Amino acid sequence: MSILPPEIQAAIDKAAKGGKFKSLEEANEVISGIVMEYNKKAQLETAGLSPEQVYRLLHSDWESKLSVLKLNNKLKHDDLAKVPIYHNARLFMEQAAIAPIKATAAGNLNRAFVNLMMSNMIIDADYKDMVLRVNKVFNEEDVQPLHKLRVILSVSGIIRKRKGKFILSKKGKELLSDDAAGLLFAHIFKTFFRKFNLAYLDWLPPDPCLQDTIAYGFYVIHKLDDKWHAIDRLKDVFWLKAVRDEVVGSEPDDNLLRQTKSRLIKPLILFGLLNKKIIGDSSKLIKKYAVKKSKLFDQFIRFDF
């Protein structure tokens, strides 16, 4: 059984039927030419990208001039002020700049700080209502958006813990000014998707291939038209086939949908790069929603092949 893509195998078979190759070198040269031609040809199953372009996209570092995926780190504070993760990160950093934040004996944020953040963070309304219903006092892990923000800021090097207190690092101080808004946003974005373990968002099994190829998902979103799209209809197009086949769990298809929501869609909403609206019955506990690309997406992410 051939392990080559059917298109390549068919081209090789056709070349071989024309007669025997005069030498092994000639055969290798012909086959090499077929493969090179295939690698430069746009493929329907990869959003119109050629295999060569997919390779370059997945191996981009998001920072160098040669990177296919480029992040705009020159966005202004006013562009980002209402973006949840930017607003929440700035709020956390500003408090840490005023005074170190005392940690609990378990190493978490203290209740007074959690209450302060809970009152001023931009948090999904349904989630906040649920937290308020089930908790009389708030510990850090009772407010998961805050807990995950603290982890991300730690991974990013913006805050660190010293002598039982969370302090703003030198890097954090440099990124706190309004003039550094774009740099802060881009730094948190790169940390979130490249260093932070996305499996921590949902506690499903880790899927390194999914996180390593997430730039392809960004590209698919970049190509979407300006319409609302239901998530369950798009989960298969956000990922390369090899990645979809690697999703693990007792119900891979359901896990793919859950991971699409938790590791791609919800984070991009948090970064203000996707807008969402509820579709269907809004009274249900688990709501269905559709998304579309925000204006900020194209201002922040671009692709240069």
Burial class (CB in 10 A: 0-12, 13-18, 19+), 237: middle
What is the value of pTM for the model shown? 0.88
| pLDDT at res. 1 | 47
Give the chain's domains with CATH numbers: 6-62 (no CATH), 63-71+198-305 (1.10.10), 77-196 (1.10.10)
Residues 6+ positions from 70 with CB-CB distance below 8 Å: 62, 301, 302, 303, 304
pLDDT at 177: 96
CA distance 123 to 269: 11
Cβ proximity of 231 and 249 under 8 Å = no
**pLDDT in the model for residue 234:** 85
C-alpha R_g of the chain: 23
Q: Can you give the pLDDT of all 305 residues of the chain as single tens digits? A: 455 677 766 766 676 676 666 777 776 776 777 667 877 889 989 999 999 999 999 999 999 999 999 999 999 999 999 999 999 999 999 999 999 999 999 999 999 999 999 999 999 988 888 888 988 888 999 999 999 999 999 999 999 999 999 999 999 999 999 999 999 999 999 999 999 999 999 988 888 999 999 999 999 999 999 999 998 888 889 999 988 888 865 566 688 889 999 999 999 999 999 999 988 887 777 778 899 999 999 999 999 99
CA separation (Å) from 55 to 6, 61, 112, 164, 222?
19, 12, 48, 45, 18
Q: What are 109's strand-pairing partners? A: 103
Decide if 304 contacts 221 (C-beta within 8 A).
no
Q: Are strands 288-293 and 229-230 parallel, antiparallel or unpaired?
A: antiparallel
43, two tokens: 């493929």
